[in-house]
């Protein structure tokens, strides 16, 4: 009599669970103990993908090519004897498709700043698998710890403009689990806002007062100056 099959073990022997498009992965399915021959069937979301018969105690090896988003998801295998009903199912392996990130955009609510002002910079990559890690630079020097975002939202840092050297060129970079995939943003520069002199409001006020006096004098001529002139004749 054949030995009772145990639940097979499904193991990833080539590749990773985080996969990219066109990647090959190999799965191994083996039930031990068991008496060959054994039929192994691979399923994805309860749909049969492939089946192999083993006449010895070697595992069934299934090689897959991730060619579309429909190829990722949960996989299981089933071990059974050819002439018996039922069978035993394995653990599941879940593949996740990772996508490269797009070029991040570095921006700020204001492009002008003055010394002593607080400003913010935000870095955002619209496309790419999460999580995404961002790092900010001024020139070639990092200016903050890296920020890893688990949601599709921008990484934001706060800066204090303390001197003219803080008006340099800023950039950020973004990366995720996609291999060899780091993208740098556009360059961003703050421009120095022109500071108005404290005397300017006073000069403007005096000018308005003088203008009002001239207008008032011009309006008074028909009522006061001209009658006085006629009365003296």
pLDDT tens-digit map of 84-110: 777 899 999 999 999 999 999 999 999
User: What is the pLDDT, as a whole number, of residue 220?
Assistant: 74
Chain segment 157-194, per-residue pLDDT in tens: 999 998 888 888 999 999 998 988 899 999 999 988 87
Residue in 74, 72, 171 with CA at minimum distance from that of residue 121: 171
Residue 229 has pLDDT above 60, yes or no: no
Residue 34 has pLDDT above 80, yes or no: no
Structure tokens at 199: 């005397």
User: What is the pLDDT, as a whole number, of residue 145?
Assistant: 95
Chain segment 111-148, per-residue pLDDT in tens: 898 888 999 999 999 999 999 999 999 999 999 999 99
User: What is the pLDDT, as a whole number, of residue 80?
Assistant: 92
Could you tell me the pLDDT band of residue 221, with boundaries at 50, 70 and 90?
Answer: confident
Q: Is 8-97's fold the same as 105-192's?
A: yes
Query: What percent of the chain lies above the pLDDT cut of 90?
Result: 61
Q: Comparing 92 with 214, which gets the higher pLDDT?
A: 92
User: What is the pLDDT, as a whole number, of residue 224?
Assistant: 63
What is the separation, in whole angstroms, between the first and last Cα of the chain? 146
The three-point CA angle 214-215-219 to 5° equals 115
Strand boundaries in the chain, DSSP class E: 9-14, 18-19, 23-30, 38-44, 47-54, 60-66, 73-80, 88-89, 93-97, 105-107, 112-113, 117-124, 132-138, 141-142, 147-149, 155-161, 169-175, 182-184, 188-189, 191-192
Residue in 61, 59, 52, 55 with CA at minimum distance from that of residue 32: 59
Can you identify the CATH homologous superfamily of domain 8-97? Immunoglobulins (2.60.40.10)
Tell me how far apart the alpha carbons of residues 189 and 68 are, in angstroms, rounded to a whole number. 41
Q: Which sequence spans correspond to the domains of the chain?
A: 8-97, 105-192
- Return mean pLDDT, the chain: 88
* CATH architecture, domain 105-192: Sandwich (2.60)
Residue 36 has pLDDT above 80, yes or no: yes
The three-point CA angle 41-43-49 to 5° equals 80
What is the average pLDDT across 62-70? Answer: 93
Q: How many CB atoms lie within 10 A of CB 219?
A: 10
Q: How many CB atoms lie within 10 A of CB 190?
A: 21
* Contact (CB, 8 A) for 176 and 98: yes
């Amino acid at each position: 009599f054949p030995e009772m099959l145990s639940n097979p073990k499904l193991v990833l022997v080539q590749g990773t669970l985080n996969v990219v498009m066109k990647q090959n992965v190999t799965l191994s399915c083996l039930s031990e103990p068991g008496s060959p021959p054994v039929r192994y069937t691979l399923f994805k979301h309860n749909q049969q993908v492939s089946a192999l018969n083993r006449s010895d105690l070697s595992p069934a090896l299934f090689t897959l090519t991730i060619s579309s988003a429909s190829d990722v998801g949960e996989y299981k295998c089933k071990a059974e004897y050819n002439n018996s009903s039922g069978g035993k199912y394995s653990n599941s392996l879940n593949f996740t498709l990772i996508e490269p990130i797009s070029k991040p955009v570095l921006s700020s609510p204001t492009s002008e700043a003055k010394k002593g002002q607080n400003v913010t910079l935000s870095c955002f990559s619209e496309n790419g698998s999460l999580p995404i890690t961002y790092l900010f630079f001024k020139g070639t020097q990092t200016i903050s710890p890296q920020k890893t975002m688990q949601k599709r939202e921008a990484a934001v840092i706060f800066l204090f403009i303390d001197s003219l050297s803080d008006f340099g060129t800023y950039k950020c970079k973004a990366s995720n689990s996609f291999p060899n995939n780091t993208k740098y943003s556009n360059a961003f520069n703050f421009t120095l806002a022109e500071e108005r002199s404290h005397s300017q409001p006073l000069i403007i006020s005096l000018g308005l007062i003088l203008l009002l006096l001239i207008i008032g004098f011009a309006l008074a001529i028909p009522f006061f100056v001209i009658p006085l002139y006629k009365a003296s004749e």
